[in-house]
Structure 1
């Protein structure tokens, strides 16, 4: 049975002067009277964003709103047949207020699995489930496409699959010279928050390059434009360096950081093009 649900995203906004906030949870009311909420259990996301904030301020505000949600859950359960009362109470809960805890404008969704949709909303708005490595690399590809366009280079490239009939690898930017791949460019996201995730994704590309190299189907120049980890975490940087070292062991494979200037990236791209194409 489908239920119509209203939901709102819980936001922590300690400094109204700047308008900056962090999504920390979600609340949802279904038309059958079920009230659900989910709040980020740790303070890490908040303290990483608001570096000067005393973490006790956030914890106290979070605990207070969580207690309020617990009371409301009991209230909604006790009045689950009174639709108009439930709707007005939910509307009052999320109305604009001058506190550190704010709510987004409400949204609506139909579902036959209320707990699952609460988790999906939480994953999307709090955990940024959409921002996985595939999403990040699509962003990097768009950025590189724009850079190639303004540098009058994009017309030379096209998406191509390199390899054999049994094994192909997609490269978004490939230059062909007399039918052979002269250069292949792959934006690669290695900014994951855990060393194991950097290594897993990096190792997957090392394995692809190894297989193409063994079959003699690598482009003459293979350029990875990589997004490295943020900050100075030594474990993340070590994992990143390990992947870069493994990739550059193959002949014709180069790695350049996307943090280089646009001019430097274009220079690296041109360096791998056939002389007749400069």
Structure 2
């Protein structure tokens, strides 16, 4: 009978602006604790467009160099483990120790999530599945879901002849700025913001990550007196009996705690009232 692998894994995160807490998932690192296995998968540096779209002010060369250094370092570590302890009884002990040392590093723009554990017959296959789930989907679905809501809001505004008042624009200054889909300006200054937020996911962690990112953006703008008083966040959340409901409610309360108005996207009358005020 094939012995199963008990593996620890961590999500590798790119966090270029420590002060905002924003990050993007860029890879997976995995090590078995009962059999020899140490592996990783990192996003190709040529995919810098995804990252620079996510972080408005980021220089693509910063990301490219970060990924190159990360990949080279993990390759070096893996080669050392394979060379020094090939098929020996302490391979997993060495791999586990190195894995834990890597994850403990909190001093760079590359960070690691708290380790998680899984049991599998094929760690390499599981690594690939985790990469597709946390890295590829992170860029494929999160912006897409918000954009679907933005399209709906745009149609509502157009039907009521309010769309010309709101334009996609950056809010902030050289210290910190954020791009929003709907900004109304007066005399060049932002007067109102509408930011739709998709908070429906079967995984509470995904909701907290996505919602928390936007909460942090609001906090930073507010702390710098760059956020207008009139901000509306129409959102879609999970059903009340879903496991992820509490995660959504937590994010909503944090945003409301900033004196930002939050409504469900179904409340079209309030959205129009806000836009027309």
| CA radius of gyration, larger in | 1
* TM-score normalised by the chain length of structure 2: 0.48
The higher relative CO (CA closer than 8 Å, separation ≥ 6) is in: 2
* TM-score normalised by the chain length of structure 1: 0.48
